[in-house]
């Protein structure tokens, strides 16, 4: 009987978001509850469980899961310490195991620990020893630190953006772990650091040039001697010392193959890196585009600078302010995080007309509240399932406010907005509006792009702005594209293997 320990610690942060994340922003599950929940959703642990459950003589040892309800700002020191303590205590209390599967993100950061995933891996080694195989699944927006690679036997990363392979990534990780623990393979990893921070449509793996690099990685992973391969484009909004783009290859005891192919993937990426910047229009240009729109379809106003799934605060009212200033009269749907406004709506009740400030409650240096008079159309507990993967999302008490042509869906807490479920759960179908504010850089095409008449990428203020020089990085290595001019790439592969 092979005992496999399962644990999870996942969060993606923007260190440019001034509002700190806390313990309450995580869903915490322990033991059997971890398995019961993940068997109902189409995510990485769900995929891993589908492999382990189908394998004879495997006993699962579920320990601890801290799963972020949505991305957010840097995790507060005391809250990180609580999560880390609980995580490691569950590891200590576990019975003896033969292998470990960790589900992580890779772009987590606390106030004083800028590589939480690497730290947890290192501490787990201290508890369980150097000989226990560990395979880690990660988001390709993670930052692949040396400490992560040093303390794991192998890593597996998503191959798609927008992400649609959560489940499959978990399956790949589980299959690889079973091969490692059986002694069938002995992983060796090569990684190449690329001095680039990138955004834009060229990163869409189905259509953009980034997809060429991913397809090379898939070819390597599935080829002779390949175990895992991919790329980490990092999260440009998590400003930490090892923030870069990385290629990586894991092979079966073949360091020469790992290094050669990691370099090939990296060079295929660098050949196209200058294209990986999204063209943006100003807020005033956005207003002119709307003014010239004669109707007959929905325009998506992409405010990725306030993308909650990238760690932004969600309380930006920059687009709202411009719509009011320009006098746009088309029916428009907007999301907003503003807990005081929601409390005022609940106090007034459905059907009441209230005047209240909106926006700027979490990131007041960037956003000043706007006074709005609106009618309360709907109130809810903000609890719903995601359209994409069936996970339970918790927006907290939520209100739909109608101010003439504007419909504002206002939540107490941020949730992911990379699909339409937040709108749909509150009875608002984006297809019924002339314009919809999309606070996500890229969604699966059927969410908006396939049916909207135009996608307008806006250069608005926010802690996840694609206008990367605006953010003010201070920790990442320099020079780096696009923060600096004439950045050179000196490709070098660094090898890692367990004793």
Q: Which two tokens stand for residue 193?
A: 């650091």
What pLDDT, on the 0 to 100 scale, is given for residue 295?
76
Rounded to an integer, what distance in angstroms lies between the CA atom of residue 174 and that of residue 192?
25
Q: CB 209: neighbour CB atoms within 10 A?
A: 19
pLDDT at residue 389 in the model: 84
User: 452 CB contacts (<8 Å, ≥6 apart)?
Assistant: 297, 298, 299, 300, 436
Q: Is 478 left (phi over 0), alpha (psi -120 to 50) or beta?
A: beta
Domains of the chain: 2-276+492-497 (3.40.50.2300), 283-465 (no CATH)
Rounded CA gap, 176 and 31, in Å?
A: 23
Rounded to the nearest 10 degrees, how much is the dihedral formed by the CA atoms of 48, 217, 229, 241? -120
Q: What is the pLDDT of residue 66?
A: 97
Mean pLDDT by 10 residues, the chain (499 residues): 97 97 95 94 96 97 94 97 98 98 98 98 98 98 98 98 96 98 98 97 96 98 98 97 98 98 98 95 98 90 97 98 97 98 98 98 98 98 92 94 98 96 98 97 95 98 97 98 97 96
CA distance 278 to 46: 33
Structure confidence at residue 464 (pLDDT): 98
Q: Which of 407, 430, 402 is nearest to 297 (CA)?
A: 430
Tokens of 328: 């746009």
8 Å CB contact between 158 and 10:
no
Q: Which of 184, 234, 166, 136 is nearest to 468 (CA)?
A: 234
| pLDDT score of 391 | 84
Instruction: Provide the pLDDT for residue 287.
Output: 98
């Amino acid at each position: 009987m092979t005992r496999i320990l399962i644990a999870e610690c996942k969060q993606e942060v923007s260190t440019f978001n001034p509002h700190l994340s806390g313990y309450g922003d995580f869903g915490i599950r322990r033991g059997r509850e971890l398995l019961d929940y993940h068997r109902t959703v189409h995510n990485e642990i769900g995929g891993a469980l589908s492999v382990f459950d189908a394998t004879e003589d495997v006993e699962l040892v579920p320990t601890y899961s801290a799963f972020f309800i949505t991305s957010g700002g840097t995790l507060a020191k005391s809250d990180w310490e609580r999560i880390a303590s609980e995580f490691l205590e569950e590891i200590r209390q576990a019975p003896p195991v033969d292998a470990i599967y960790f589900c992580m993100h890779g772009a987590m950061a606390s106030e004083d620990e800028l590589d939480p995933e690497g730290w947890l891996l290192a501490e787990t080694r201290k508890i369980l020893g150097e000989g226990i195989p560990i395979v880690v699944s990660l988001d390709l927006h993670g930052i692949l630190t040396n400490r992560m690679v040093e303390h794991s036997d192998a890593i597996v990363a998503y191959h798609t953006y927008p992400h649609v392979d959560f489940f499959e990534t978990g399956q790949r990780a589980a299959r690889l772990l079973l091969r490692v623990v059986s002694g069938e393979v002995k992983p060796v990893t090569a990684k190449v650091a690329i001095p680039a921070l990138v955004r834009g449509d060229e990163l869409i793996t189905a259509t953009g040039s980034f997809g060429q690099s991913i397809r090379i990685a898939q070819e390597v992973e599935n080829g002779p001697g390949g175990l895992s391969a991919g790329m980490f484009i990092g999260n440009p909004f998590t400003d930490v010392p090892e923030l870069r783009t990385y290629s990586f290859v894991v092979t079966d005891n073949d360091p020469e193959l790992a290094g050669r192919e990691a370099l090939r993937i990296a060079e295929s990426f660098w050949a196209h890196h200058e294209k990986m910047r999204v063209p943006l229009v100003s807020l005033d240009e956005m207003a002119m585009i709307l003014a010239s729109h004669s109707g007959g379809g929905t325009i998506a106003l992409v405010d990725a600078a306030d993308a909650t799934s990238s760690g932004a605060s969600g309380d930006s009212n920059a687009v709202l302010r411009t719509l009011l200033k320009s006098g746009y009269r088309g029916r428009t749907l907007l999301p907003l995080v503003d807990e005081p406004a929601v409390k005022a709506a609940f106090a007034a009740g459905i059907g009441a007309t209230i005047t209240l400030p909106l926006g700027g409650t979490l990131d007041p240096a960037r956003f000043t509240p706007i006074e709005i008079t609106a009618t309360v159309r709907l109130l809810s507990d903000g609890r719903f399932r995601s359209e994409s993967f069936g996970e339970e999302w918790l927006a907290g008490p939520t209100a739909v406010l109608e101010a003439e042509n504007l419909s504002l869906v206002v939540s107490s807490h941020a949730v992911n907005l990379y699909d339409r479920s937040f709108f749909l759960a509150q009875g608002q179908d984006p297809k019924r509006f002339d314009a919809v504010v999309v606070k996500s850089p890229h969604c699966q095409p059927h969410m908006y792009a396939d049916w909207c008449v135009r996608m307008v990428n806006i250069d608005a203020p926010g802690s996840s702005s694609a206008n990367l020089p605006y953010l003010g990085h201070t920790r990442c290595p320099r020079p780096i594209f696009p923060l600096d001019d004439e950045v050179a790439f000196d490709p070098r592969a660094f090898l890692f293997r367990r004793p």
